[in-house]
Amino acid sequence: MSQTDPNRLSVGDFVQRIRGEMIPISSRFSYFSTAVPLTEEDVREYLEEPIAALPPAVSLMIPKVAILLVPYLERPNGKEQTVRHAGDLVCFEKPADTRVCWSSSVAGDGEEVLAFALKDQEVVDYHYRFFGEMSRLADESIGPDELNSWFTLLREELNAGVHGEVDERSWRLKQAMQRRQTKVRRETKVFREYAHQSLVDTLVLYLHGICCDIDVETGPRQLPSRNLRRRLQLLQSMYPPPQGYAVFPEDVNPDPRS
């Protein structure tokens, strides 16, 4: 397969070809769409609304972001990668199911390129992946004070024997850590790996909840609601939502007489 095939380009090659056609949304975000013609409503739903819902502190801590909205993305080897720009391809025809990829990223010079496949993807799933990328970028830039606050909260949960997690990735890492480490005060590699993934997964829920009405998945691995609320309250103190946005229902209109 040739990287010069115009119908199947790596994300990095694709963004270089359309660099001059990127459309600014704000001083920190720009986009280009080749997936479908975007109406004004589409631009609001896919771009303006989720970006406007980002807490100002999060927007400032992440690099500038170029968003690519493309028909399909293909992962050539069919396996999820942990390294950015792992050869993911922008495609105009649907790849085999085993190679379908919904989002991809490439780190540039002071800029992060995020590609999202829109065909066959619901808006709610796109939002989840969009906020997933925002949370990953925020985690990579988090300050030591905020990180220590998060570590402290997790240690309190672990010492109290709190069961469950927010998403599957942090749940697997939590189980692996608990099998290998009994003293949670130790800041080991496995603890840090779990803590960072737990932060990312919880931040996805926090950011998504600021933007949209969402339901928290229930199940045997789900973190108890009281502990989830404590996490969200901590994130709210670290990254307050934009003016006019609320995290908890009671924050929408705290004074019933108003």
Mean pLDDT of 6-32: 88
| Burial degree of 258 (CB within 10 A; 0-12, 13-18, 19+) | exposed
Q: Are 66 and 113 in contact (CB under 8 A)?
A: yes
How many Cα atoms occupy the beta-carbon half-sphere of 74 within 13 Å? Answer: 17
Rounded Cα distance, 44 and 196, in Å: 31
pLDDT range class, residue 219, cuts 50, 70, 90: low
What's 222's DSSP letter? B
**Separation between Cα atoms, residue 156 and residue 195, nearest integer Å:** 12
Query: Cβ(170)–Cβ(198) under 8 Å?
Result: yes
pLDDT at residue 253 in the model: 62
Phi, psi of 204 (to 5 degrees): -60, -50
For residues 202 and 194, what is the distance between their CA atoms, to the nearest angstrom?
Answer: 12
Q: Does the pTM exceed 0.85? A: yes
pLDDT digits (tens, 9 = 90+) for 152-192: 999 999 999 999 999 999 999 999 998 887 666 667 889 99
Q: For residue 165, what is the DSSP state?
A: B
Cβ contact 62:141 at 8 Å: yes
11-20, 62-71, 148-157, range with the lowest pLDDT: 11-20
The Cα–Cα gap between 66 and 223 comes to 34
pLDDT digits (tens, 9 = 90+) for 72-109: 999 887 555 544 545 789 998 888 888 889 999 988 77
Distance CA 22, CA 92 (A): 19
- Residue located via tokens 């493309």: 70
Can you tell me the distance from the alpha carbon of 126 to that of 145, in angstroms, rounded to the nearest whole number?
31
Q: Is the distance from CB of 217 to CB of 136 less than 8 angstroms? A: no
Instruction: Spell out the alpha helix ranges (H) of 79-188.
Output: 123-141, 144-159, 168-180
Supply the Cα-derived Rg of the chain in whole angstroms: 19
What does each C-alpha distance from 35 to 8, 166, 213 come to in angstroms?
14, 31, 26
